[in-house]
Amino acid sequence: MSFSTIVARGLVALGVVAAGAVTALPAFAAPADVALIQSYIGEWRGRGVLIGANTETVVCRMSVTQGNGDKVNYSGRCSLAGTQLSVAGTMAYVEENRRFEAAMSSNATFTGLAVGQKRGNGLVFNLRERDEDEEGKDLNITAQINLRPETIDVTFSVVYVENGDSLRAEVPFTRQ
């Protein structure tokens, strides 16, 4: 599997954590939960580093907008290692499940759902996935996005189960 393909898969996992596009997210949240999600509405930019066999700069942008009802939509794009990844979706507090949920889709034909928790005055979404590369080798993918009032910190890693080779990226975002 090429470096850029691994990076694309990792960024897809990152997008799952960030938010998403499964249309069936019923949201009947308390006013404070709605206000927390809506506090991220705006334009965000991020620049970080991906470390693996090579070191690459990661440059991202994200737009967070009001969705239907209490939902918040987002769309974003990251560039690195000659690869562009686009993600889009919705975040909401789902009262029925008593939790924050983010669903997403990407140009890498991936969709998924991440669960978020309140931490202090922000939200943290975590994702742990197991997948296979194009050669059938097992990958462990982990990602975390920490949404705080004026920053969003994203960290993800991809580890080959067989040999321990890995990629790790950290991308801090700031509001524009």
What 3-state class would DSSP assign to 170? strand
What 3-state class would DSSP assign to 28? coil
167 pLDDT above the threshold of 70 = yes
Each residue's pLDDT tens digit, 133-161: 778 888 887 778 889 988 998 887 888 89
C-alpha span between 154 and 73 (Å, rounded): 18
The amino acid present at 47, given as its one-letter code, is: R
Which one has a higher pLDDT value, 123 or 129? 123
Each residue's pLDDT tens digit, 80-116: 778 887 888 888 998 888 899 988 777 755 566 788 9
Measured between alpha carbons, how far is residue 125 from residues 81, 108, 173 in Å?
25, 21, 15
C-alpha span between 112 and 89 (Å, rounded): 10
Q: Tokens for 44? A: 């965000």
48 pLDDT above the threshold of 60 = yes
Per CATH, domain 3-175 is 2.40.128.20: yes
